[in-house]
Structure 1
Amino acid sequence: MRYTHITPSKYTNSLGRQVYDVSDSVNILSVKIVSSDLGFPLKVYGTVIARDYLDFKCVYLFRRRREDYQLINSEDQSLILTGPTRGLVLLDRIYFEVDLKIKDDQGKKDQELSKGLCVIDGVLMGGEEHGHVGCEDLDSRLSTVEVKFAVVKLSVQAALEIKILKGDFYGEITACTSSIQDRLVLHDSKAGGITSV
């Protein structure tokens, strides 16, 4: 697989006057297994990646190896997202490739939970004046995966850094835009201290 070389802080250190282009973008709010023919809990591993118009290379949203599975207890629980590592541009289509498996501890072969592709079509959404929240579902043999996203009109990408200067941090760090109040979870200490986005 080819991975994106475009990072969120790529253009932060240049000097002088800069001209910025703004375009529509997509914030990924959550990825959930909203139905499972196998019931719950599920030990989930695999990948969810996005590809956009900028370079069509892999931008990971979720990536876990078999030995580092995530336990999903219900359809209300989201996958712990570790990306995207940069903004997703909505000039054309954004493709989401899902390849999720279920770890089996009883000596059986692991099962494919969800494999397929879903698409957000930026051309169809281009005429809308305001940002909005939407969902794309991927129905597969054993499950339905929901990708919930927010379209942000005329956006610019921002990189932020949070430093804990002393001690441990327990809690949740979220972000949102002024036009769309659905929050992105950047960090949740209840989720094992994994950085979300």
Structure 2
Amino acid sequence: MWNDFLEPVLLSLEVSFTSGIIVIVLGTLIGWFMVNKTFKGKVIIETIILLPLVLSPTVIGFLLIVIFGKNSWLGEMIKWIFHRSLLFTWWAAVIASAVVAFPLMYQAAKAGFHEVDKDIEGAALVDGANKFQVFLYISIPLASKMLVAGGIMSLARALGEFGATLMFAGNIPGETQTLPTAIYVAIDAGNMTMAWLWVLTTILISFLILLVIHIKSE
């Protein structure tokens, strides 16, 4: 019983932290880029980035299947390189979690970089720093409060992802069965003891994640 309980917990932590790292890096870079660049179609791109916030998880799962499925050029390329489809794999769970969590990190990064004093960045450029150095040593530290909050919220969202993960990654014990899907299966099978254990574990982890945000914000 202990192994059955622990397996989805550890897998959920692995998936959420891996997708969280991806989201934090991409969200920070794209958030900074969108704040500092103006170009045609920017509003359209931002709208697409934020779509996972309002789309049903099943719609996101369907779109991921279409994009990475065996009938797409990307899916065919992945299968040719790795000799297997991406669907119903551990990486599929990571991608699904990252897609639904990304808008939260993007919004936080954008808000954080908006608050950075442009005069400070400009002074650093005048003093001889290049754009990468300004980004790394000035922009990120000044926006760090929002970046940390966005990263933690993204981890929490990735941990709770269900619909897109179930459609795109499936529910394979030991490989793609995360806490939300494990809870669903346990309830469907009438195993309320295990369901309650997983529910309480999810609540505890989520509580700790949110607690960190509040501590950091004080």
User: With structure 2 as the length reference, what TM-score do the two structures score?
Assistant: 0.26
Higher strand share: 1
Structure whose CA Rg is larger: 2
Considering Cα pairs closer than 8 Å and 6+ residues apart, tell me whether 1 or 2 has the greater RCO. Answer: 2
Higher helix share: 2
